[in-house]
Amino acid sequence: EAGVTQSPTHLIKTRGQQATLRCSPISGHTSVYWYQQALGLGLQFLLWYDEGEERNRGNFPPRFSGRQFPNYSSELNVNALELEDSALYLCASSLGTVSGNTIYFGEGSWLTVV
Amino acid sequence: DQQVKQNSPSLSVQEGRISILNCDYTNSMFDYFLWYKKYPAEGPTFLISISSIKDKNEDGRFTVFLNKSAKHLSLHIVPSQPGDSAVYFCAARRYGNKLVFGAGTILRVKS
């Protein structure tokens, strides 16, 4: 069974541009999470979608947005890119919102802003 | 607001010995706890979890202990192997909410 898949693996953008990252959850999973891991930092929560709705968002500016599609895949959009947006962006999925549901991560998308 | 804390940035252990990674939390509403392992340039890999109704869960070389009164959990790896060298993240969640991660602990297992 395929795990969480993310694309692209690497993305290079210039300041001010927009970046779009994509995520396909494990089959049957309805919840998708986005996390940012900047260099030397831990995992910072960005966004959480379940059943197509945004359930929670982390302490990030509105430049960071996303959506979840009817097939539960998700997009993360980062507008007006800044240098400090360079990071590994991780998508994860789980079966719904029940606490006992483990979340599984994809391999991540490396975003470099120059 | 750091609800999940891993106070040791790094830990070095000899191969074959026990590795003990610690995690403290402040939110008494957390009811599910997980440990993830992460190699550089890869996504975190789920290791082991524990529900708040238990105080211990074992899976092979990995055991997680939960002390709810102290709001503390720990991951024991016995015996430690060089391939265990990675960053270990402790995470917690409560019903219907996002997973909150600690800052991670770098484990180095020396052969």
Measure in Å the smallest separation between the Cα of B31 and chain A Cα atoms: 7
Reference B9, options B21, B1, B18, B25; nearest CA is B21
Average pLDDT over residues B25-52: 90
Say how far apart CA B16 and CA B19 lie, in whole Å: 9
- Would you give the DSSP letter of residue A38? -
Report the residue from A42, A88, A99 with minimal CB separation from B104: A42
Bigger pLDDT: B1 vs A70? A70
Residue pair A72/A25 in contact by the 8 Å Cβ criterion: yes
- Structure confidence by residue, pLDDT tens digits, A40-64: 677 888 999 999 999 989 889 999 9
Does A38 contact chain B (CB < 8 Å)? no
| Per-residue pLDDT band at A100 (split at 50, 70, 90) | low
Mean pLDDT of A74-94: 96
Q: Compute the distance between CA of residue B14 and CA of residue B30 in angstroms, rounded to an integer.
A: 33
Measured between beta carbons, the chain A residues lying within 8 angstroms of B104 are 42-43
Given a contact cutoff of 8 angstroms between Cβ atoms, the answer to whether B85 and B62 are in contact is no
Residue closest to B19 by CA, chosen among B40, B41, B50, B47: B47
- What's the pLDDT band for B1 if we cut at 50, 70, 90? low
So what's the pLDDT on residue B41? 73
Number of Cβ pairs < 8 A linking chain A and chain B? 63
Q: Per DSSP, what are the bridge partners of residue B49? A: B34
pLDDT of B47-91, one tens digit each?
999 999 999 999 999 999 999 999 999 999 999 999 999 999 999
A66: contact with B, CB 8 A cutoff: no
Residues of B in contact with A58 (CB under 8 A): 98
Which DSSP string do the residues of B14-48 spell out, in sequence order? ETTS-EEEEEEE--TT--EEEEEEE-TTS--EEEE
Q: With CB atoms and an 8 Å threshold, state whether B97 touches A45.
A: no
Interface test with B, best of A34, A36, A41, A43 (most B CBs within 10 A): A43
Give CA–CA dist B6/B85, Å, rounded: 17
* Residue A99: strand, helix, or coil: coil
DSSP symbols for A40-81:
T---EEEEEEETTEEEEE-S--TTEEEEE-TTS-EEEEE-S-
**Taking CB atoms and an 8 Å limit, are B93 and A99 in contact across chains?**
yes
Q: Report whether pLDDT(A1) > 80.
A: no
In this prediction, residue B40 carries a pLDDT of 81
Distance CA B44, CA B75 (A): 16
Q: What is the DSSP letter of A103?
A: P
Mean pLDDT check: name the lowest of A11-20, A41-50, A75-84, B16-25.
Answer: A41-50
